[in-house]
Structure 1
């Protein structure tokens, strides 16, 4: 079994520990360590794929890998000492060579397949698919037009802005910055809107948030209370969590959504308004869950480990 992730990944740690407890053989690797600390020798012919992949401490026989837990690997890298052009070439060759190999293991059950993760990360595709799956979606505008943004804000205000992706961003001093979900004042919408695509959305007057973790046919709904602001990720110290029943209609839509993207795992975010209506925010196909209190995390970890250990066999139950 392969666990593909960076070293500092608490979610991958918890799943790996559970697999070790079950005495399931695990090889953990980070493609960002290639080629310095990973060596691959793969053969392909009419008989299929064979060969092995070695890390500093483990060896994986490629055609024997039954499951892959694809979490959050670092970007592909080039060995030190190369000029910029050679380094770029090596990185792209690693992406399509090693990356293509890791995505083509013939006997493996992926949680999730990296190409399925990639396809499901685009918020426009998420929103469109969520609509077809029956979720309630706040009115949303994708635009680079200042006039359209202002018109939308006046029509649907209060309105929030959210980024399409958590992209590395630094201030002039090199300090890492995060672009959070923020409420937008129409008067603050300037020509900067024209610089790229922006996502504006009608604000949900939420009294609570839901993080719903779906693992195969298992669905775990965690209610999050206590956030004093729009983006609960900024207020972890103020939050409380409770595992609650998943409404059947919501579980049905979640399974339809996973099937539409070919996902085994998804971390869904919703807001609950004063009338109890549940509003779709997004689905991270590779979202975190290890920060929940241990009794909640343990149940999710067990479900993920089941998927990997039994290679998806229990999906049909």
Structure 2
């Protein structure tokens, strides 16, 4: 079977998937299969007693080697979430879909973009450790559930901020998948820490950082060799100074350029993390130095793509197409 197929794990309801698959078609890659949980895609993955795999999607047997783009974004409270079934069953269905996508990405190995290896630890302090190892500046950080340590850390910083370690959301209804509230980055005054009940801090890890005084911020989209940076003028409005996501419509976003040294560090970080695609966030301080905050491998970028006439879509499609062609070359060589 000498087929070349790109398999997308996600839904065309996600505009990122629709943009990239359409651009691939425009460039001659007609064989893109989206395993779409919104569109009623049917599939079977069978393993025999020797663990040989057979994947069938909508009645079609797919080749054993496919390029797999894992664009999983099954987020509660968004248009990407599970629609089928009743409310009580959607949380379970969402977990099963996430597990199935993770399974297909793991089986794809190096043909998965991003790879399963790169997804093992996307927790921010781990990313910061990797970023520092390639020469990027990172803020001092503490993860603790001990009030005394958090208070001591605060005394060593001009300002301290608290973030979510997991990037999870807060549920107003308790357990389950009903989680529409994002935990934003926030300043925490010393008097609030002093007044806090130690047992309330003990409940879970708390992720604290020194606050870097900002001139502006960067969102840097990376797709393979392409680096596409945007300046975010978050300091013009009080509501966006600590976390620009609090009022995204107020910010001004503009395409910018990075110096070659910073670009080299970003490429080194992506290589160390095993990432092909990612959206990186930086703070630019008052002296013009860049401070790495985090990398989101599934970062939203469609609104930025509209500012640059589809440049990001081009970059994603080009990288998938490059891998698609390389897979064919390998097959021909064999």
The TM-score by the shorter chain falls in which range? 0.7 to 0.9
Following superposition, the deviation at residue 117 of structure 1 comes to 4.3
Distance 1:169 1:199 in 2: 15
- Structure 1 residue runs without a partner (length 5+): none
2:14: which partner in 1? Answer: 9
Equivalent position of 2:204 in the other structure: 196
Are the equivalent residues in 1 in contact too, given 2:70–2:101 (CA < 8 A)?
no
Q: For 1:147, what is the secondary structure of its paired residue? A: helix
Q: Deviations over 1:207-253 (max 9, x none)?
A: 11101111112111111114522111122211122222221121111
Residue 217 (structure 2) aligned to one of 209, 234, 239: 209
Does residue 264 of structure 2 align to residue 252 of structure 1?
yes
1:181 aligns with 2:182: no
TM-score where L is the length of structure 2: 0.78
Deviation readout 1:161-186 (Å, 9 max, x if unpaired): 11022324222496732210001112
Name the structure 1 match of 2:299: 287
- Which position in structure 2 is the counterpart of 1:105? 108
CA 1:193–1:214 in 2, change beyond 3 Å: closer, same or farther?
A: same
Cα displacement (A) at 1:109: 2.8
> 1:289 Cα shift?
0.9
SS at match of 1:121: coil
Structure 1 stretch displaced more, 36-45 or 5-14: 36-45
Q: 1:269 aligns with which of 261, 273, 281?
A: 281
Q: Deviations over 1:34-89 (max 9, x none)?
A: 9x7532143558795444222xxx84614252x22211243899x979x99xx97x
1:101 CA drift (Å): 3.6
Counterpart in the other structure of 2:132? 131
Matched with 2:157 is 156
Unaligned runs of 5+ residues in structure 2 are: 1-5, 76-80, 327-334
Cα root mean square deviation, aligned: 3.3
Is the deviation greater in 194-203 or in 163-172?
A: 163-172
1:103 counterpart SS class: helix
Q: Distance in 1 between matches of 2:107 and 2:299?
A: 23
Q: Secondary structure at the match of 1:105?
A: helix
The answer to whether the 8 A contact 1:120-1:285 is kept is no
Query: Is the Cα–Cα contact under 8 Å of residues 144 and 193 in structure 1 kept in the other structure?
Result: yes
Aligned residues: 301
Distance in structure 2 (CA, Å) of the matches to 1:45 and 1:22: 40
